[in-house]
Amino acid sequence: MNYIHSTIAQLKTSSPAQCEFYQAVEEVLESLEPILENSEKYKKNAIIQRLVEPERQIMFRVPWVDDEGNIQVNKGYRIEFNSALGPYKGGLRFHPSVNASIIKFLGFEQIFKNALTGLPIGGGKGGANFDPKGRSDAEIMRFCQSFMSELYRHIGPTTDVVPAGDIGVGAREIGYLFGQYKRLTGRYEGVLTGKSLLWGGSLVRKEATGYGAVYFADYMLQARGDSLQGKRCLVSGAGNVAIYAIEKLYQMGATPVSCSDSRGTVYHESGIDLNLIKCLKEQSRDCLSVYKQTHPDAIYISVNDYPKDGHAVWRFNAAAAFPCATQNELTQADASALLSGGCLLVSEGANMPSTKEAIDCFIAAKIAYGPGKAANAGGVATSQLEMAQNASMQSWTFEEVDEKLKQIMKNIFVTANDTATEFGEPGNLLLGANIAGFRRVADAMIEQGVV
């Protein structure tokens, strides 16, 4: 469709060299064809051109002093993408690969993800090209304090809320960021979520994204008369999302047999040792290669030995796959290997983990495919539940929050599934999620005028 292609071409000129961002935009816009073709109002209101341009992009210097007394300088970002549905909301990523393209793709995805939850939240994202690996707690604290010394002036509980939960940002970082926000503003308010349970955090926030991706998978299977019970599952990543996806898979009677980190993959035929992974990644912050010291029967594959066209973690046979590490970690060759190995379901815990070609394979094979913006929305939704508890000075039980999370994931599934059917592609949850998210945001934008 010319309208879509010309928007993408224009974007490549106005925002050069941002390939991850183009990838996210192309994936969404191509699936909007059925709704854009039949409705002049979106074209007339230049909704697509407005959607792909962030409302505001903030880039800033983050200087800090390391333990040796050297001055380090990183680059910080906050992209306030779209506030049609509510205050900007989206987490922070601290990773050396962070740049404007990565933060923009994450912010763009966040608009539709947040819209799908049905909650009143807009889309944003932030981060820095800071590498927390190997840094002491004191260095992490100084970095977080410097980062917040600039960010605090742009955020607020009714303007831009920063939930925890992305690569390199967990409870420790949120603690340091919140402490500095409080010191600078003198306000103790719900501007950050993912807080510690000791001071305003919500039960289930830590588990929410991983649990949510598994609930979403279960709803996809239920709709096909199947369940996770007894299924062997491949999981990638070994961070927050992967760990709690593994935990929930065990609770639902499935067997997760793999996990991975940036240096390699573990495959354990009898099932991943969850307690060991929690110890290695949540406490000692170790590399997965030490897993074999406890389990000599497991297989460890270093990234140096990965297939040239993909990732070792997807080359084992299993009924389901949960990519929970990072973007583009599942290629076309990986998708073909999964399908030949009997994979019936992919539920994306990570953001944009499958390449466009891999997604095309899943859609063509008509397996149950849950795109990240739907399957991993449990984290941001539970952040909203944390804000609701903060605002009403309440603390809900684990069971109460978990029940709400389950219901939100079910609603997201039903919305995406019904929308896919409405647009003549039953079961195509990518199309359903993109159109449903788009429709909510776009209609709100039209009602709010040209702003």
Q: In the structure encoding, which two tokens stand for residue 64, read together?
A: 């800090």
- List 18, 351, 354, 419, residue binding ligand NDP (CB under 6 A): 351
Neighbours of 165 (CB within 10 A): 26
Q: Which residue do the tokens 């140096």 mark? A: 304
Q: How far apart are alpha carbons 248 and 225 in whole angstroms? A: 20
Question: Do 274 and 254 meet the contact criterion of CB atoms below 8 Å apart?
Answer: no
CA dist., res. 355 & res. 348, Å (int): 12
Q: Which one of 349, 370, 432, 437 is in contact with ligand NDP (CB under 6 A)?
A: 349
In the complex with ligand NDP, the residue whose CB is nearer, 47 or 203, is 203
CB of 162 to ligand NDP, least distance (A): 12
Give residue 36's identity as a one-letter amino acid code: L
- Rama region for 350: left / alpha / beta (φ>0; ψ in -120 to 50; rest): beta
Cβ 108 to ligand NDP, closest distance in Å?
13
| Site membership for ligand NDP, residue 379 (CB under 6 A) | yes
Q: Which of 89, 125, 195, 248 is catalytic?
A: 125
Q: How far apart are CA 126 and CA 305, in angstroms?
A: 33
For position 241 contacting ligand NDP by CB under 6 A, the verdict is: yes
What is the C-alpha separation between 143 and 133, in angstroms, rounded? Answer: 13
The yes or no reply on residue 214 touching ligand NDP (CB under 6 A) is no
# residues near ligand NDP by CB under 6 A: 22
If one asks whether residue 387 binds ligand NDP (CB under 6 A), the answer comes out as no
Residue among 226 and 286 whose Cβ is closer to ligand NDP: 286
The arrangement of strands across the sheet holding 299-302 comes to 258-261, 264-267, 299-302
Residue with tokens 């980062």: 147
Interaction between residue 132 and ligand NDP (CB under 6 A): no
Q: How far is the CB of 264 from ligand NDP (least distance, A)?
A: 9
Does residue 115 belong to the site contacting ligand NDP (CB under 6 A)?
A: no
* Binding of ligand NDP by 239 (CB under 6 A): yes
Six token digits for residue 201 = 């955090």
Contacts of 55 (CB under 8 A, 6+ apart): 80, 81, 82, 83, 88
Does 238 engage in binding with ligand NDP (CB under 6 A)? yes
Q: Which is nearer to ligand NDP, 237 or 437 (CB)?
A: 237
Contact (CB, 8 A) for 347 and 220: yes
Q: Is 209 in the site for ligand NDP (CB under 6 A)?
A: yes
Q: In 3-138, where do the E strands start and end?
A: 56-65, 71-82, 88-89, 92-94, 123-128
Q: Does the footprint of ligand NDP cover residue 350 (CB under 6 A)?
A: yes
> CB of 298 within 8 A of CB of 271?
no
Chain positions 139 to 198 lying near ligand NDP, rule: CB under 6 A, are: 165-168
- 262 touches ligand NDP by CB under 6 A: yes
Stretch that binds ligand NDP, among 52-60, 182-190, 240-248, 398-406 (CB under 6 A): 240-248
Q: How far is the CB of 71 from ligand NDP (least distance, A)?
A: 25
The Cα 117–Cα 374 span in angstroms is 8
Category of 93 on φ-ψ map: left (φ > 0), alpha (ψ -120 to 50) or beta: beta
Q: What is the DSSP string of 134-173?
A: T--HHHHHHHHHHHHHHHGGG-BTTTEEEE--BTTBSHHH
Which of 316, 423 has the CB closer to ligand NDP? 316
**DSSP β-ladder status, 258-261 and 264-267:** antiparallel
Residue at shortest CB range from ligand NDP: 239
Q: Which is nearer to ligand NDP, 168 or 200 (CB)?
A: 168
Is there binding between residue 331 and ligand NDP (CB under 6 A)? no
> In the block, which residue shows the tokens 């049609």?
84
| Residues 271 to 330 in contact with ligand NDP, rule: CB under 6 A | 324-326
Query: Closer to ligand NDP at the Cβ: 326 or 331?
Result: 326
User: Judged by CB under 6 A, which of 376, 389, 390, 419 binds ligand NDP?
Assistant: 376
Question: In the complex with ligand NDP, which residue's Cβ is closer, 36 or 325?
Answer: 325
Q: Which amino acid is at 358?
A: A
Asked if 261 is part of the footprint of ligand NDP (rule: CB under 6 A), the reply reads yes
> 42 or 77: whose CB is closer to ligand NDP?
77
Q: Is 410 a catalytic residue?
A: no
Q: Which positions touch ligand NDP (CB under 6 A)?
A: 165-168, 209, 237-242, 261-263, 324-326, 349-351, 376, 379
Hey, which residues are catalytic here? 125
